[in-house]
Amino acid sequence: MRNQAQHDALVLEHQGLVRAIAWKIHRRLAGKAELDDLIAYGQLGLLEAIAAFDSTRNHKFTTYAWHRIRGAILDGLGRMTWFARADFERGGYELGGSEAPPAAENRRPARNEFDATALPDREPGAAERAMRLELIAFLADLVATLPEKEAALLRATFYEGRTLTEAARRVGISTPWASRLQTRTLADMRVALERKGFR
């Protein structure tokens, strides 16, 4: 297990990777998303990669992190109603791309706050359903105890489907500051979840 200094060093060391992946995706989207939003999603992927990486498997961390960062950015975009990952992979959002963005009736709805139906679409057992409900309730309590700005950012981006830029504007701070604030808040929430026994 890494100590906080090692964790922070990995975060700092891989900022260039986060920005490079975000920039590459931003260019493919032909201006349809804010670069700062993509970087914020990438930061979440980097934190997930640091938490989940197993150094005993003889894999390079950078390679592992690349996939987690890219996946987190695409997952973040997936919460936006206009984005479809399949269209992105086919180049549908690039200037002159062969595929048009999905029609309004095919768009994914934004997730509602603390909506259990937004979780994976398979039939869970009773124990798993109970664990999900407990997790949702715990997250609701966590968000309720956050300072006003942090809570407003999370609600806007994760539950209302707003971009980080829109959320930052609503809260009255810059997008880069909102990105740092959200990344720090989510890291703190991850620690609280792990202490509670959620993995």
Which domains can be identified in the chain, with CATH numbers? 1-109 (1.10.1740.10), 110-199 (1.10.10.10)
| pLDDT tens digit sequence for 70-116 | 988 988 888 776 777 777 777 776 654 444 444 434 444 443 333 43
pTM of the predicted protein model: 0.50
What pLDDT shows up at residue 10? 84
What pLDDT shows up at residue 102? 42
What pLDDT shows up at residue 21? 92
With beta carbons less than 8 A apart as the criterion, state whether 125 and 74 touch: no
| pLDDT tens digit sequence for 150-193 | 888 888 887 777 888 888 898 899 888 888 888 888 888 877 77
